[in-house]
A and B are shown apart, each in its own frame.
Chain A
Amino acid sequence: MAATTPPLQSAGDNEPFRVDGALTISRAATTEREIQAAPDPLTIDLSGVERMDTVGAWLIYRTVRDRDARVVGATPQAQSLLDQVAEFDHPARVRPEERPGVVRLFSELGEWVSESGRTLVGLLGFFGGTLIGFGNLIRRPRRFRWNAVVQRFDVVGIRALGIIGLMSFLIGVVIGQQGAVQLAQFGAESFTINLIGRITVRELGPLMTAIMVAGRSGSAFAAQLGTMKITEEIDAMRTIGVSPVEALVIPRVIASVIMMPLLAFWAMLMSLLGGGIFVWLFLEIPPLTYIQRLQEVIPITDLWIGLIKAPVFGLIIALAGCFQGMLVEGNSEEVGLRTTTAVVQAIFLVIVLDAVFAVFFSSIGWK
């Protein structure tokens, strides 16, 4: 293609503006500025234009429309481009209309409140729907999907062993180390074992496991079901007569409810192991003594508390994940938002319930 010379030459007051060379999108920014700087009345001479595209034509057309400029010297091709852009001149908004700041603040607050209320009611309704699904399955146990459940056991439980074990081990070490430093001030270092034993079995084992499972599996549930919702797989299931609750939700709920106590127990053991290794190396308490002391200081009710809480946490995580997944509508961004909400909701509810459990078990005398 021919090299282009500078396209626009400024001329005297009533002399026409000459555009030379290319009148295209590549030079549109400069051309726009130069046309804006030119004084009225304006005549534009297009006889020197070698190449022109619709953006160039648009710039000229716009000047003619808004400033009553005159165009001379347009070739037939240029004229045809000008006619075309004129034909397509239908101004459109680019973004949806935005409301003013104060109104938006209140409307967003209102939307948030009503959305929260609807979510809570929706979650309860979803729980109810799941229970009905369970009821149907109990009446017709043949429809129970063993394969799906076993597969979820693997994904939710077995594959989480490594990361949950490592995390719990490190937590055990940290509790031992911090406890030893603080208790040393009272000369009560040997109570580090009480601290490690009770806090991991009663609280941190199930709680940290729940947070990890919410991050690992709750998010996966929401993302999977959300994607299936977008690709209409869930609608296809319904039309075939497969209930999505039976096929998708119940296996995940069962897997989480059964796997959570097992994982929590595993987490307790790994924390005790981590704490044990710490006290052995740094407080010189031999492992046998450590185990003996653990048996003395951990009441069996602590273990029950941990293992009773864990399946409830599992239920909440699975419900929140599946519920948010089923709420996905529209686009891929929604999947991400719903996944985030599922994890946040699950962890929040887990911690609230943990507090409720703490009060409850204390008041029935399991101290």
Chain B
Amino acid sequence: MTDDEIVIRIRGLSNRFGEQVVHEGLDLDVRRGEILGVVGGSGTGKSVMMRSVIGLQTPAEGEVEVLGENMVGRNEDEAKNIRRRWGILFQNGALFSTLTVAENIEVPIHEYFPFLSPSLVDEIASYKLAMGGLSPDAGPKFPSELSGGMVKRAGLARALALDPELLFLDEPTAGLDPIAAAAFDELILSLQQRLELTVFLITHDLDTLYAICDRVAVLADRKVIAVGTIPELLALDHPWIQEYFNGPRGRAAANSSEEPARV
């Protein structure tokens, strides 16, 4: 594999909050064009890892490289060039509450390309809205008027605003009903295939893992203890992995993924 194919490279990452050590010598590679699922028990620092990668959390030690650029210790101006090449969906959407959904989508466009004509920006926002799977009448609504599933879709549409190469999703299906969650999984998969995205996906949702993830990284004991396809992980003899995939919920998700495609 050449270096070009690795879009996120984490080496020796350590994060501490006071006495509490979250990560210690964590390594992880994300390949171009894959959907990598990150799993781990609550409090194992999945979100902290994502925050370290996207530069919201300065790690205590270690190197983080995104799209070939070092992320640790970069100043704001340099980091900006990388920031426009990724999109991030936060766990609770993090939509700007004083702007409408369409205006939320326009924020990154205005920030990086202020010279586009307003009518073109409005049109871009419209088709991004449709890409996120929202109907046109969601455009002029405010985030407080949206349901949980619509907030996630609006957040995804904003993440897609600048045609990113890399998409970070923090628990995209958490808080959605199973039907909405399955629809969201399909949306992510179809967008990933059409737009040739690399997706870094934090999830607790076993159905999501089986349905759309190419590889899964398991976070435990302050590092990534294993990365691989689900069958590869199942072959490992780690108690947490076994319990995770072979627990009642894990088996249910595995069974449903083997059934013929739902009609």
Interface residues of A (CB under 8 A from B): 24-26, 28-29, 32, 53-55, 58-59, 62, 80, 84-85, 87-97, 329-333
Query: Which of A28, A332, A333 has its CB near the most chain B CB atoms (within 10 A)?
Result: A28
Size of B's binding interface in residues, CB under 8 A: 37
Describe B's contact surface by its main secondary structure. helix
A124 to chain B, nearest CB (A): 28
A208 to chain B, nearest CB (A): 35
Interface residues of B (CB under 8 A from A): 97-98, 100, 102-103, 106, 109, 112-113, 115-117, 120, 122-131, 135-144, 162-163, 194-195
| Partner among B97, B113, B162 whose Cβ is within 8 Å of the Cβ of A331 | B97
| Partner among B112, B120, B162 whose Cβ is within 8 Å of the Cβ of A32 | B120
Contacts of A29 in B (CB 8 A): 113, 115-117, 120
| Partner among B97, B100, B116, B123 whose Cβ is within 8 Å of the Cβ of A96 | B100
Q: Can you show 5 pairs from A to B with CB atoms below 8 A apart?
A: A25-B163, A54-B195, A58-B127, A92-B136, A332-B98
Contacts of A32 in B (CB 8 A): 116-117, 120
* Complex alpha-carbon distance, A3 and B148, angstroms: 44
Contact A80 B194 (CB under 8 A): yes
Contact A90 B123 (CB under 8 A): no
Contact B116 A58 (CB under 8 A): no
* Complex alpha-carbon distance, A329 and B142, angstroms: 13
Contact A84 B115 (CB under 8 A): no
A352 to chain B, nearest CB (A): 33
Query: Which of A54, A59, A89, A332 has its CB near the most chain B CB atoms (within 10 A)?
Result: A54
* Complex alpha-carbon distance, A93 and B138, angstroms: 8
Contact A97 B126 (CB under 8 A): no
Contacts of B120 in A (CB 8 A): 28-29, 32, 59
* Complex alpha-carbon distance, A97 and B139, angstroms: 11
Contact A93 B140 (CB under 8 A): yes
Contact B129 A331 (CB under 8 A): no
With A92-B125, A92-B130 known, 10 other A-B pairs at CB within 8 A are: A25-B116, A25-B162, A29-B113, A29-B117, A32-B117, A54-B195, A88-B130, A90-B129, A93-B136, A330-B142
Minimal Cβ-Cβ distance residue in A for B127: A88
Minimal Cβ-Cβ distance residue in A for B112: A25
Contact A88 B136 (CB under 8 A): no
Contacts of B115 in A (CB 8 A): 29
Contact B123 A62 (CB under 8 A): yes
* Complex alpha-carbon distance, A94 and B139, angstroms: 5
Contacts of B126 in A (CB 8 A): 89-92, 94
